[in-house]
Structure 1
Amino acid sequence: MSLAEEGFPTGAVVVVGSLNVDLVTSVARHPSPGETVLGSDLVRLRGGKGANQALAARRAGAGVTMVGRVGDDGDGEAYRSALAEAGVDVTFLQTTPGVPTGTALIVVDPTGENAIVVAAGANARLEADDVRSARAALEGADVVLVQLEIGDEAVRAVAEVAATTGTRLVLNASPVRDLPRSLLAQADPVVVNEHEAQAFGLSGADDGVCVTLGGRGATWGGTTVPAPRVAAVDTTGAGDAFAGALASALAAGAGREDALRAAVAAGAEATTWSGAQPV
C-alpha cells in the first residue's frame, strides 16, 4: 500500500532520465567471459531508469513529469503513449530525429539476478537546454529525481536548476561514474546500492546517503528498514521502484522512516514480476 493510499498528501515529482526498450532473456546461469549460453525466447519490455522511476513515483501517488528523449521510431512513440496513459506528464519528453530509442540487453538467471548492457540511443542526446526548458516544471515540483543513464551536462543542469528553484534533489548515482563531490553533497539523499556506495566511498550512516541492501532492505542516515519477504522472480528495476517511491514519499512530506518504508515495500514488490515495469 502506498503512502497516498494510507492518507498521506501527494506531492509533485520531476524525473529527468532515460527511457529504454528492454530486450530480456532468461538463462540457467550467467556466462563466463568468452562463453556462450542458451537463453529463453527474447521478450521486449519497456525500461530505462528514468521511465521506471517516473512510473514508480506515479504508482506511489505523486504527480509526475518526465524529462528525457526518445527516438523517432515506433518504440519512442509507443513509450510516449504508455507514459501518458499512466498519468505521467510528457510535455518535456523530446523526440530525437534519426536516432533510435535507448535499448537495454538484460539476462536473468533462475534466482532473479540480472546482467544488463545499455545502448543509450536518444538518451545520450539529452542536453542541458532540455533540462533548462523544463524549469517551470521543476519550480512547481517538490522533488526532482535524476539518475546517471544520461550525460554529464544534463545531470549538472538538473543540479543547477534545482539549486536556483529550491527543489529537493534526489540523485540515484547509478550506473557508477565520476561525479563532483559538490553534486553528491547537494543531493538529499544520494540513493545507491552497496556496490555503488563502496565505489563512491559513501555510507548509509551518512545523513545524505540512502543505501539499498537488496533483500535486507535499506538504510539512510542510520535509519534502517528491513525488506518484506517476497517470492522474487526478477530483480530488474527493483532499485528504480525504490527510488521512485522514495521520491514520491518525500514529495508528499513523509519523514525519513516512512519514506524508507514505502520505498522498500515498492522495491520488494517490483521483484515479483518479470521486467522493470509491471504489465
Structure 2
Amino acid sequence: MSGPEAAVVCVGVVTLDALALVDRHPGPDERVLADRVAITGGGPAATAAVVLARQGVPVAFVGRVGTDAEGAQALDLLAAEGVDVTHTLRDPATPTQSSVVIAATGSATRSIATRAVPPLPPLTGAAADLVAGAGWVHTDHLGFAPVADLLERRAGTDRRPRVALDAGNDVAGLDGRLGLVDLYVPTTASLTARYGTTPDAAPDTVADCAARALAEGAGTVVATHGAGGSAAWWPGGHATAPAATGVGIVSTLGAGDVFHGALLAAVCRGLDWSEALRHANATAALSCRALDGRSAIPGTAELDAFLTAAAPAA
C-alpha cells in the first residue's frame, strides 16, 4: 500500500511487549508459574492501526523504532496486519520501546516495566507528505506534537487532514491547540482532570468538562469510562453507549487503544455517533478475550455478528 492510499495515518508509539498471565504477582526473588506467556506488539497509535486494518480501513503507521531486533519484530507484526510501515523511522540512537507486563488474575491487576520513550522527532520528507495527505490522522500522547507542528507549518494550504487524538495520557504540546483536533478522546478521568474546577468548588460533571473542551475548539469530544461505557458531545448533540457485555475477559491490556482505533474505523464507515460508540465499545470488549491487546481484535464481520446477536429484540 502506498502512502496516498492510506485513509488514516496513525502517528505515535509502537512497542514490543512480553506478557505473562499469573495467578498472583510474585514477591521478591520468588518464581511463580504463568498460565500464559506471549510476545506481542503494543503502543497506543500502533494498536489503533491494527484495529483499523482489521476493520477494513487502509492505514499507515508513522513512528520511531531502533535498529534493534525488537524494532524489526514490532514493525513486522504491523506489516503482517496490512499496516503500511514504510515511513516509520529506524533510529540507531534510540532503542525500541519494549515492556514486560505481568497480569495477575487473582487481583485483576497488572505490573508493567517499560523503557522510557523519548519525544518523536519532527515530521519531514515523505512521512510529512503522507500525514498531510491523509483523510484522518490518529495520534497518541507522543504523536500529537509533531503532527500539530506539521499542520501549523503548512497552515494556509488547500486542505488539512482531520485529527483524532487519544488523550488518555498527558499530551505534550496540546495547550492552545485543541482547535486542531476534530475528534478529542480522553478518559473521563483525564477530561475532568484537565477541565474540572478546583477541589473546593462544586463538582463538575463530565458533560461540563466536555463543553469546555468544545469551547476550546475540539470538534467532537468522546469520553471513555471502561465498564461505564462511553459518551460523545458535539455542538448541539450528545450520545451515549453502555459497555458491551457477555464477553469473557482475560486481560484488559490495550483495550483503550483498541477503542480509539475502532471508533475511528466506525467514523470512516459513516456511522452516527451512537452506533460508532457501540462499535468501539464492543471491539474493545472483544479484544479482552486474549492476554495481549491485539490477537482477539475482531474484524468487521465478527464485530457485526456480535452486535447483531447483542441487539435487543424488536
The answer, yes or no, to whether TM exceeds 0.5 is yes
Shift of 1:135: 3.2
**Which 4+ stretches in 1 moved above 6 angstroms?**
none
AA aligned opposite 1:79 = A
> Partner of 1:278: helix, strand, or coil?
coil
CA spacing shift, 1:228–1:162, aligned 2, 3 Å: farther
The answer as to 2:114 corresponding to 1:118 is: yes
Taking the TM superposition and a 5 Å limit, the aligned residue runs for 1:1-279 are 12-28=7-23, 36=28, 40-41=33-34, 43-110=38-105, 112-121=108-117, 124=118, 126-130=120-124, 133-148=126-141, 150=142, 153-157=145-149, 160=152, 165-177=159-171, 179-201=173-195, 203=206, 205-206=210-211, 208-221=220-233, 222-229=238-245, 230-278=247-295
| TM-score w.r.t. length of structure 2 | 0.73
Alpha-carbon distance between aligned partners in 1 of 2:74 and 2:44, rounded to the nearest angstrom: 14
- List runs of 5+ in structure 2 lacking aligned partners: 197-205, 215-219, 297-314
Larger Rg: 2
- List runs of 5+ in structure 1 lacking aligned partners: 1-9
Alpha-carbon distance between aligned partners in 2 of 1:15 and 1:29, rounded to the nearest angstrom: 35
Number of the residue aligned with 1:6: none
Identity of aligned residues (%): 30
AA aligned opposite 1:21 = L
Shift of 1:45: 2.0
> Partner of 1:54: helix, strand, or coil?
helix
Per-residue CA deviation, residues 130-186 of structure 1 (Å, 9 max, x unaligned), is: 4x64233234422110001x2774253355378654211110013225653433343
Alpha-carbon distance between aligned partners in 2 of 1:65 and 1:244, rounded to the nearest angstrom: 12
CA spacing shift, 1:258–1:200, aligned 2, 3 Å: same
CA spacing shift, 1:91–1:137, aligned 2, 3 Å: same
AA aligned opposite 1:219 = A
RMSD: 2.9
Alpha-carbon distance between aligned partners in 1 of 2:64 and 2:145, rounded to the nearest angstrom: 14
Alpha-carbon distance between aligned partners in 1 of 2:6 and 2:68, rounded to the nearest angstrom: 33
Alpha-carbon distance between aligned partners in 1 of 2:11 and 2:113, rounded to the nearest angstrom: 20
Per-residue CA deviation, residues 12-32 of structure 1 (Å, 9 max, x unaligned), is: 11100111111223454569x
**Conserved? CA contact 1:113–1:235, under 8 Å:** no
| TM-score w.r.t. length of structure 1 | 0.81
Alpha-carbon distance between aligned partners in 1 of 2:24 and 2:188, rounded to the nearest angstrom: 23
**Conserved? CA contact 1:242–1:264, under 8 Å:** yes
Farther-moved stretch of structure 1 (235-244 vs 195-204): 195-204
Per-residue CA deviation, residues 185-208 of structure 1 (Å, 9 max, x unaligned), is: 432221122222222227355353
> Partner of 2:48: helix, strand, or coil?
helix
CA spacing shift, 1:86–1:263, aligned 2, 3 Å: same
Alpha-carbon distance between aligned partners in 1 of 2:143 and 2:85, rounded to the nearest angstrom: 20
Farther-moved stretch of structure 1 (162-171 vs 83-92): 162-171
Alpha-carbon distance between aligned partners in 1 of 2:190 and 2:24, rounded to the nearest angstrom: 24
Number of the residue aligned with 1:3: none
